[in-house]
Structure 1
């Protein structure tokens, strides 16, 4: 029995990145041998085991054969005769098909090391097209490694287009699309995720609401980048810089401007009312992909209210209190912080505005804290009861927010 470290652990080690998950492949053994050594079986589709001490995954070397459409349409074979090279051949990208033996020697039958050095995302074999999830994985890896200069190989991009043309992408289940998207939104450069999907023609299939933004013009004095799709890419990357790894803020950034695709042509390049128009396509996208409730709830508020956040210093204190109420920010203060991160990303996601200040955020946080400082106790002490207490607290909060506006 031979054991090899494989996949992302080897890749990230070679790139000098932190190794988070260590996966292994076992060659020349069957399930009984691992069970006899105390390994715990997991997984229904193929034999994967957890190490009794480290909890790391150990999978028997296996091959796979396409048996139907979509992600689940595969038959697996795992037995002691399967070689390491056969196991690595079923992997998606060459940079993920490198193994390391227990002495530290690399096994690289498909040129993964060279592709790491050349900063190329390249498929291992033409069997790549059999699993539609791989299209999303390539886009996600592009989002992760774009800051390092990685690009998708031309021949791999052709295969991605073939997968879309052949309808494989139509068989992706919503949960997998959302899982890969959620991870991509937490990567360093999420715009690369959109660009790969768009270049492969998958964006219009999976995210038609987002794809519709490309080519829609905006007023150049506010958006020097003009194209709404380019603005969206810039907002996503700004969000990743402001709130690294936060897919909630990333989803709010992704969906904040969907209404601009619905602006009547005769009103362009202005987008009056786009924040309200965007709610319906946002809800449609979230329902289709089964997006978590909290992601949808906050994204909807960002969609509706991001212009009010930008105008916060001009708003009446009563309007600010209404905004805080919509966010439930007095009971859940962290929601305001996520909201403001998405709004700041919108502010900075414009050409030549990448480092703009955002005093609105400081003011809204002061307003939240000032409003939260108002409690019912003094009004109860005055003998007030029922609705009178709530009305008095609201008046006091409005006054407190007004004072917070001019606070240093």
Structure 2
């Protein structure tokens, strides 16, 4: 196995890590307590998410994730980092448009990681100073410029799938034992009406998932990478199956899908891998058929969004009902507490009244005693002011004289006998 792909893989990874516009934007959003909105999709989107989360880990940032895709999903946030994807194709993939525009209308700041854009761009122009966009290839960048986005707000950077750490798949980089694994699309982006009989559209085994954690991404990706490692060559029109195969050293023969992204990303990044080739191929579908497929997909997405909005509304109603129940329960507890406090207050008032009555009683008793004391004092004063009392005092004063008093005491004893 030619191991030159490892050097290319490291070089592309370093290019992402050294993209100053990307790193500075992420740090600026992190400083503003930004949250991360992981994209929905199939296993290819899981590979994008894995590379994104690996970069966050290298930056020492673990942002809160926004879950769900209903139109109110972004409400309550001021700064959002949106994961890269291919979900901005007008007439086919318009998954994030409604909630994104609502978020920007409310003054939010948005950072979109490397993504492809087809037909979109003018929608962001009124909010250009609130949006920083990274394209994963030159054509999307040119499209956004053409739509009116200022150069200061758009940049180019390789797809985040190429930032995945080697350790995730290094043990699977072995020589293949079988010749070819074919992975051709069965969805609206596919260019073949009838894929080869041996083709297996592996990413659709893990579809419509919001890829939020490293563990969630790694397990199915390793399963598919393990299968790829058994083959020498992977033929596909799946962009991220080609990227995964290139990262583990497979020979890759790449075909276009229904729009430009595969050729554009091949020209920007994948062509650097010596084992990856691109073979242009005309779609089996006429333009009218492609338009019909796009309309069907758009209708499906519309129905899905309506169902999600309805589900979100029911969830909101359920939340409100639960909040009402909680408020009623709290009100009952408060009323019970108020009753207890009222009873305690009554007891306290009664106790205070009893205490006041007791004090009044004591005051009356003191007043009565004071009157009795005054009467005794007045009688004592009368006695003390009487002539007899004064004679008695003189008598006792003589009685206390040392010599004469002794004689008087002796005489009194004789008289008493």
Instruction: Work out whether the TM-score is over 0.5.
Output: no
Q: Which entry has the higher C-alpha Rg, 1 or 2?
A: 2
What band does the TM-score fall into relative to the shorter chain?
Answer: under 0.3
Higher RCO (CA 8 Å, separation ≥ 6 residues):
2
- TM-score for both structures, normalised by structure 1: 0.21
